[in-house]
Chain A
Amino acid sequence: MLLQGFAVLLGFQLLGEILVLVTGILVPGPVLGMAFLLLFLLLRQQVPEPTRQTSEGLLRYLPLLFVPAGVGLINHGLLLKQDFGVIAITLIVSTALTLAVTVLVLQGLKKYLGASNDQ
């Protein structure tokens, strides 16, 4: 079961990566693979059980999967030190603003558009 699901995920990833290679677009292969799998599921109108089991298992451990890349920060220490103050303030303020604007716009539009749809 688990292996079947893993084979499906890797198959779609490979498909995405081949397409990136052929077209040279600026999108990571797995992201295209996700789009293709979604299209496949929409056409099939259901998620095959092995694909669901493997997917949910992998996604439960998604935070762990970011750790090896995150440790790569060790190599950026020098680059970051140059403009540290500017970078730190910009990242904190801008990320807070982005989070706030996104949720507020989303909530506001849903209320506004939802209200006009109901009439």
Chain B
Amino acid sequence: MISEIPEVFSEIWVFLTASKVLYLLLTLVAFMFAVWLNRRAGGTPWLHPVLVAIALIIGFLLLTSTAYADYFEGAQFIHFLLGPAIVALAVPLYDHRERIKKEFLPLMLACVAGIITAVGSTAVLVKLLGGEEATLMSLLPKSVTSPIAMGIAEQTGGFPALAAGIVLITGAIGCVLGPPIFRLLKIQDHAAQGFALGLAAHGFGTAQSFTLSNLAGAFAGLAMGVTGLLSAFLIPLFVQFL
């Protein structure tokens, strides 16, 4: 492909692909375009900005046969901000501390019910559909934020890398399915919506909740944290009974 283009351009191309700035810029531009597209489409969850941006970038990498590791060299500067952003969740949690304190028991019980549903339905479905044991172990922690999910998969005999991929896809599915399900069940409370999104779709769901409101984001962050902590204990325990 490159040989048909004049030499100056291929030289520029070689320089660009070695430069970290290209992939940093690509990530920003793809995301800005995806946000713009989503607004034009009336904010439909089917054109979720994160998913559209990911699809665009994957398309670009495949077309230019660029390795993910090369892309990540540049994009890591954005990825790095995830750490402080997770710490920052303490601020909305603090802001809504009164409501969380008041609803603490229902929240914790709903969290346990959600985890049991996520893990139980996954086990039943994989067995019914005839999936393999290692696939099941990689699927079980699908609603758990990826660093914890990879640890759980490793402990129970799944593939950590597959588990990380599954966690990402689950997050995306949760963001798409959330709004229509809440509409169907007539749930208007932002706190309840955020809590369910954070539980089922971890960080993706939390990010989506913050675009809804600060209240939704706080409850999503809470659900993501508690689900991660509880699952780390509950899933290895559950596996012993399979």
Contact = CB atoms under 8 A, between A and B. Distances in A.
Interface of A: 6, 9-10, 12-13, 16, 26-31, 33-35, 37-38, 40-42, 47, 51-52, 54-56, 58-76, 79-80, 82-83, 85-87, 89-107, 109-110, 113
Contacts of A67: 27, 30-31, 50, 53-54, 57, 75, 78
Contacts of A41: 90-91, 94
Contacts, number: 302
Nearest to B198: A102
Contacts of A63: 31, 49-50, 207-208, 210-211
6 contacts: A30-B84, A59-B210, A89-B129, A99-B177, A101-B114, A101-B117
A96 B68 contact: no
B68 A71 contact: yes
Interface string B156-185: 000101101110111111100110011001
A50 B86 CA distance: 17
B7 interface: no
A56 B129 contact: no
Contacts of A64: 27-28, 31, 50, 53, 78
A102 B110 contact: yes
A106 B135 contact: no
A90 B84 contact: no
A67 B221 CA distance: 18
B232 A86 contact: no
Given A64-B31, A67-B75, A85-B129, A13 B166 contact: no
Given A86-B129, A105-B110, 10 more contacts: A13-B87, A34-B89, A63-B50, A67-B54, A71-B68, A95-B200, A98-B121, A101-B114, A102-B111, A102-B200
